[in-house]
Amino acid sequence: MVIVKTVGVVTSGGDAPGMNAAIRGVVRIGHAKGLQFLGFEKGWEGLITGTFKPLTPRSVGGIIQLGGTILHTSRCPEFKTLKGIRKAAETLGSNNVDGLVVIGGNGSVNGAYELSKETNTQIVAVPASIDNDVFGTDETIGFDTAVNTAVVEIDKIRDTAISLERVFIVEVMGRTRGFLASTVGITVGAEVILVPEVKTDKEKLFRIIKENSARGKKSGIIVAAEGIGDTRKLAIEIEKETGKEARLSILGYAQRGGSPTARSRLLASLFANHAIEILLQNHGNRVVGLQNGKISSIDLKKSCENEKKLDLNLLDLAYELAT
């Protein structure tokens, strides 16, 4: 059995508010238990090129409130190849890295699993993503922050929608999954929520807008995940088919940034603590998560082989709440 002494930390894929809080938690909790840390820079690229820096309790000070990641991140096509993965494994071996904490979303978890096949280093994935799409956790670090960022902006948009009696499509992030759109939609009182998991029924959408207008609702909010299709075209079609003025507002990358909420910071700290516990117990190749209100973990392979299900009942609930 390998005794974990040196632990690598990497933030991979899209950034999420709370990644820095997770880095801080991992380093400070691990350091108190005698571990040393190396921070690999620019995501998987840092593991492939061997670019890293030591992390200490002092070097991670003053970052809990910061968005983004002090280790930086990137998209790394080379890591999608076996050659790239093996280079990363060689870096871990040559630097005597016994454990690796991977902080990121669904793609990062999959990358961690592929890397685990080529190295004896114990790997623990800490889910951090505004998409909230990692199987094995009810919530990811950064999701709550992204939801709140979107809610603040959409509340402002509704003021304009009411004043000008318009229908607004508000596009939020979510290329393939609708967790952000569904949660935001419910919490802003959207009349309609559109997600990639369900093909958009335009005739139904037009009918809802007309029905709302007949009830005396002169404005409306449609929250749409970016992956549902061409929202600009949809806004034009709404005007043509319903006679209502329609506008599109794309929230974009603002949802990724900003100071993490208390909720995101708390999850980051709790996930970090459990990640260190797993490594010290030599139970690597796990994904930390929140399940039914408790911090736990599941097998890395199981997380990658299963898809987290979106609660589609939220879409119907939004319609009922908006009547």
Q: Where are the beta strands (DSSP E) in 182-245?
A: 192-194, 220-225
pLDDT at 298: 98
pLDDT at 1: 57
**In sequence order, what are the residues at sequence separation of 6 or more whose Cβ sits closer than 8 angstroms to the Cβ of residue 118?**
85, 86, 88, 89
Residues in the chain: 323
Q: What is the extent of the structural domain holding 269? A: 6-142+260-305
Query: How many structural domains are present in the chain?
Result: 2
Do the domain assignments include residue 133? yes
At 117, which CATH number?
3.40.50.450
Q: Which helix H or strand E contains 246, and what residues bound it?
A: strand 246-250
Verify that 127 and 270 share a domain, yes or no.
yes
Verify that 23 and 43 share a domain, yes or no.
yes
CA angle 85, 91, 94 (to 5 degrees): 140
Spacing of C-alpha 124 from chain mean position: 17
Tens place of pLDDT per residue across the chain (323 aa): 567 899 999 999 999 999 999 999 999 999 999 999 999 999 999 999 999 999 999 999 999 999 999 999 998 999 999 999 999 999 999 999 999 999 999 999 999 999 999 999 999 999 999 999 999 999 999 999 999 999 999 999 999 999 999 999 999 999 999 999 999 999 999 999 999 999 999 999 999 999 999 999 999 999 999 999 999 999 999 999 999 999 999 999 999 999 999 999 999 999 999 999 999 998 889 999 999 999 999 999 999 999 999 999 999 999 899 88
Query: Could you give the 3-state DSSP secondary structure of residue 43?
Result: coil
Do the domain assignments include residue 311? no
Verify that 19 and 130 share a domain, yes or no.
yes
Choose among 115, 64, 69: nearest CA to 90. Answer: 115
Verify that 183 and 119 share a domain, yes or no.
no
Do the domain assignments include residue 319? no
Verify that 159 and 170 share a domain, yes or no.
yes
pLDDT at 3: 76
Residue type, 287: V
Query: Could you give the 3-state DSSP secondary structure of residue 282?
Result: coil
Verify that 50 and 157 share a domain, yes or no.
no
Q: Which helix H or strand E contains 288, and what residues bound it?
A: strand 286-291
CA atoms of 109 and 225, how far apart (whole Å): 22
At 241, which CATH number?
3.40.50.460
Residue type, 35: L
pLDDT at 2: 65
CA atoms of 208 and 127, how far apart (whole Å): 37
Look-up: residue for tokens 């999954």? Answer: 177
pLDDT at 126: 98
Q: Which residues are catalytic?
A: 131
- Terminal-residue alpha carbon distance, the chain: 61
Verify that 182 and 233 share a domain, yes or no.
yes
pLDDT at 103: 98
Verify that 119 and 158 share a domain, yes or no.
no
How is residue 166 annotated by DSSP? -
